[in-house]
Every structure is written in C-alpha cells, then in structure tokens.
Amino acid sequence: MEHLNAEHLARLVDEQPTPEEADHLSTCKACSDKSDALRSQTEALRALPVMVPPQGDWHVLEAQLRSEGLMKDPGLVQRLGFVRTPGWMKTAAALVLFLSGTGTGVALTHADPGTIEPVAMDFANVEGAASAVLVAEQEYVTAVSRYREILAAGGGDNYGGDPVSRFAALEHLVMVSQAAVRQAPGDPFLNGMLASAMAERDVAARMVSSKRDNWF
C-alpha cells in the first residue's frame, strides 16, 4: 500500500482507520509518525489558552455602551440594595436623605441631636470636597439602614398586605414631601419625590376603597 496522504492522516485524528490503513500504519514508520504529529497538533490546539484583551478595551466598550444608552450607573438607592423594594419605599428612603439633615433624620437615626456634628465643608481643594461627599454619603447610609430597621420592626414589610397602614404611612410621606417642596419649590428632586409619593398614596387609597367594597 502506498503512503497515506496528509488529508487521510488528518481524518484519522477523529475517525477509526480502515483495516488496510491500520495495517499500513502498523508497518510504516513515516506515516505513523505523521499521524502521531497530527494528533499532537490537534491536542495542542484544543489546549490553547484564552487571551487577555488589550488594556483599554473595557473603556472603549464602556464609552460605546453609554453612548448607546445600554449602560447606566445604578442610583444611590440601588447601590444600597433597594433594587427590589417597592417604589414608595424608595421614595421614603430618598426622603430620609433630605430630612436627615434637617431634624427628622436625627429622629430616625435615634441619635441625640447634640451629638450630630456638622460636616466640615472644606471645599478649598478637591480632597476636601471629596471627603465631605464621602461623609455625607456615609450618614445617608446610616440613616437609610436605620429606616429599614424601623420599617421591619414596625411591620413596615407588611404594609403591602395592609392597605390602611400603608396608606397612612404614604399620607405622612406626602405631607412631609409637600413641606419640603414649599421650602424649595423649584427643586426637581423634591418635586419628583412628592409626585412619586402622591402616586403611591393614591394607589394605596384605591386599595383601601377596594377592600371596603368587598366588606359589603
């Protein structure tokens, strides 16, 4: 039998040789060596490692994703773990941010007002400003955490199942929001919170009405 050509030998990497091919391979060292080399080559290809993308690849991708609106940074509420909390609760948590600096936040954190020290607003340089932002964010985290504890301890997680209690809580939030908007009527953030709180309160009001209807 003549020597096996290269393509025949390449096929034998995956497939069984015919009896004739097997006989030839058992007696022809040249073909046997080539066959072994092709097997080794295939094994080496299968073992090729993954490749690290060039540096800067991510930044190019990130810019492109943002330009297409496919990527956005999570809001502070999401970063704190409120991804799955209801909208009204997010509004409540956001309100704490505003109120924590005006007195109500002090009550929520159960802190002695006398122990609250004002943040040193040293904006003379970038480091000072960054430091002030970090302190403010930490205070917000503490206030929100405390707020969640209060909700949990007071049955806050059950508000969704108790429309009357939920409505009362939301009504309170609306009142507080309205007070905040009166202080800063042009503030879009506060107006947004007020609108959200009112919408949630209206939904709760409809749920209360619906339950009352069922009683009859």
Partner 1 sequence: MKTNSINLTDHQIIRLAADGDARAIRSLYDRYSPRVYAVVRRIAGDDDLAEDYAQEAWIRAIRALPTFRGDARFSTWLHRIAVNAALQALRKAETREKREAPVVADIAIAPAASDSLLQKRLEGALDGLPEGMRRVLILHDVEGYTHEEIGDVLGVTAGTSKSQLFKARAKMRVMLAGLDGAAQEHGAEAWSI
Can residue 54 be called a binding residue for partner 1 (CB under 8 A)? yes
Q: How many CA atoms lie within 13 A of 136 on its CB side?
A: 15
Q: Could you report how far apart the first and last alpha carbons of the chain are, in Å?
A: 98
Do 122 and 130 touch, CB atoms closer than 8 A? no
Question: Which structure tokens are listed for 92?
Answer: 């409540």
| Residues touching partner 1, count (CB under 8 A) | 43
Q: How many whole angstroms from its chain centre is CA 142?
A: 20
Q: Give 125-167 as a DSSP string.
A: SHHHHHHHHHHHHHHHHHHHHHHHHHHHHTTGGGGGG-HHHHH
Can residue 72 be called a binding residue for partner 1 (CB under 8 A)? yes
Among 64, 158, 178, 210, binds partner 1 (CB under 8 A): 64
Among 51, 124, 126, 153, binds partner 1 (CB under 8 A): 51
Among 20, 53, 87, 149, binds partner 1 (CB under 8 A): 53
Can residue 145 be called a binding residue for partner 1 (CB under 8 A)? no
Among 60, 121, 133, 150, binds partner 1 (CB under 8 A): 60
Q: State in angstroms the smallest separation of the CB of 78 from partner 1.
A: 8
178 vs 190: CA distance, rounded Å:
9
* Burial category of 67 from C-beta neighbours within 10 Å (exposed 0-12, middle 13-18, buried 19 and up): exposed
Applying the rule CB under 8 A, the residues between 11 and 40 that interact with partner 1 are: 11, 13, 34, 37-38, 40
Nearer to partner 1, 12 or 197 (CB): 12
Nearer to partner 1, 61 or 120 (CB): 61
Q: Which residues bind partner 1 (CB under 8 A)?
A: 5-11, 13, 34, 37-38, 40-42, 44-46, 48-54, 57-58, 60-62, 64-65, 68-74, 78, 81-84
